[in-house]
Amino acid sequence: MSRFVSSVAMAVFLHCIAAQAWATDWLSLASQSVAEDPRVVAAKARVDAVKYEVKGAWGLFYPAIHATASGGNSRDNDPYTYTGAKMTWGIEVAQSIPLFGRELSEVKKAKAKLSGENASFEAVQQEVIFEFYETVFRIDAAKQRLAFYDESMQLLSRKVEALQDAVRGGGVVITDLYRTKAFLESTSAQRDRAKTELDIQHARLQRLLGKRNLPETISTKERTDLKTFVSLDQKALLESALFSSPSIGNADAQVRHARAVRSGAVANFWPRLSLLLEAERGSYGDRQINREGIYLKFDKPLFEGGTTSSQASSAGFQLTAAIAARNQEESLVRERVITAWKRFQSEQSALEALQRAEMNDSVVVDMTEQQAELGAATLFTVLDARKKLVETKLEKIDQLLKQDLAWLQLLGESGMLPVLIPKSTSLSL
């Protein structure tokens, strides 16, 4: 499952070496955040734990060797019974004969569980990657909003001063002054809200980074370079999702586990065969004990009230359910990728429209200022044009964040988020 992601991540890392001019190495920061996140560490520990379960399952193919010893004293009036001091030691070797797939089914169940834990690990890893970059983008948006709210408040303050002078001169009605003051207060409240949002996102990023210092805000170039790591082709992303999606990987693991359970249940129709070897040495009273034995054990229940057949039938239906769930998950992944793709395209189109609107508003500001210099426009007109430009820029900031989050969501649905961390420093299985 992770072969495709690993190869792409290595290419990303090699590309990152040539990008040392960045103010912040976002790839390494993201990788360190993922590697040290408690959720990822816990998921990795669960994977390691199940690896030992797989090793233990293979132990069913090996003999069980036990050392035995006993010592003591006994008295008995029966002349045919050993009496006196007893001191014996020996060894027992029991070897199961794996003819009918019972032992192999246990190995397959353990391996299926390991595959499921691997898929869960990848899902947690992608969750942390998403959270890291989401926080970085939200911090950038909050800082930009804060700066533009400051700019807007400066413009509104100047307009309030101009209106106050105009009201005293009788040039405008006083309601215009109070309307502008109210808008200034509203903008101030929005600025405070943006500052609070920035503080919240800083706290979130600090949790993700641990004791490291908070990095600088991501630049436009860094954001652009980051997005060049993945070719946004719908067909390629859909193929990636079907190959490396953690949810499909987990569904596949459930199918393999159900198939192994059914194999084990069917194997119970067959007898259990095992070979037992025993050797014992020592003394019992005045007699020397020197005993060896080899036995073939055959165990086949003749009647269990239908337990074995019921278990086999139940396992068969569980397998059918697991296969259906896997097919459903594949359909859902296809749907989520297509939905995420369309949403990203929509957000990108909206961003491009706002960029054009910003250019038009900038032209309006320039023309209005030129008209004001010629006496064809008033200060109020200039301030209104600048205010409209600031509002468009604020809307563009919000739209850029929506596009960034839609991009992250698209990568997440297609299983491509691991390309945003270097392979050399990320956790691997």
Q: Roughly how many angstroms between the first and final C-alpha of the chain, as a whole number?
A: 11
Lowest mean pLDDT among 82-91, 288-297, 345-354: 82-91
Answer whether residue 18 shows pLDDT above 70. Answer: no
DSSP string covering 187-252: HHHHHHHHHHHHHHHHHHHHHHHTTSPPPPPPPHHHHHHHHTTS---HHHHHHHHHHH-HHHHHHH
Interval 227-272: pLDDT, tens: 776 777 888 888 888 888 999 999 999 999 999 999 999 988 888 8
Q: What are the Cα distances from residue 204, in Å, to 121, 198, 200, 333, 406?
A: 22, 10, 6, 29, 20
Instruction: Give me the count of residues in the chain.
Output: 429
Measured between alpha carbons, how far is 196 from 214 in angstroms, rounded to an integer? 17
Interval 287-339: pLDDT, tens: 888 888 999 888 888 888 888 889 899 999 999 999 999 999 999 999 999 99
Single-letter amino acid code for the residue at 3: R
Average pLDDT over residues 29-40: 89
The phi, psi pair for 294, rounded to 5°, reads -135, 130
Measured between alpha carbons, how far is 411 from 404 in angstroms, rounded to an integer? 11
Interval 199-231: pLDDT, tens: 999 999 999 988 777 787 888 888 888 877 677
Answer whether residue 98 shows pLDDT above 50. Answer: yes
Answer whether residue 401 shows pLDDT above 80. Answer: yes
Residue ranges of alpha helices (H) inside 37-101 are: 38-58
In this prediction, residue 16 carries a pLDDT of 39
- What are residue 292's DSSP bridge partners? 279
* Res. 79 pLDDT band, cuts 50 70 90: low
* Secondary-structure percent of the chain, ordered helix, strand, coil, rounded to 5: 70, 10, 20
- Cα-to-chain-centroid distance, residue 359: 39
List, in order, residues 6 or more apart from 398 with CB less than 8 Å away. 141, 145
Identify which has the larger pLDDT, 424 or 369: 369
In this prediction, residue 171 carries a pLDDT of 65
Count of C-beta atoms within a 10 Å radius of residue 387? 20
Which CATH architecture is the domain 3-62+100-140+198-272+307-420 placed in? Up-down Bundle (1.20)
Count of C-beta atoms within a 10 Å radius of residue 28? 17
List, in order, residues 6 or more apart from 322 with CB less than 8 Å away. 251, 254, 255, 257, 258, 259
Q: Is 210 left (phi over 0), alpha (psi -120 to 50) or beta?
A: left
Nearest of 122, 139, 336, 334 to residue 223 by alpha carbon: 139
In this prediction, residue 362 carries a pLDDT of 92
Task: Provide, rounded to the nearest whole percent, the portion of the chain with pLDDT above 90.
Answer: 42
Q: What is the largest CA-CA distance in the chain?
A: 135
Single-letter amino acid code for the residue at 273: L
Q: Where are the domains of the chain?
A: 3-62+100-140+198-272+307-420
Single-letter amino acid code for the residue at 201: Q
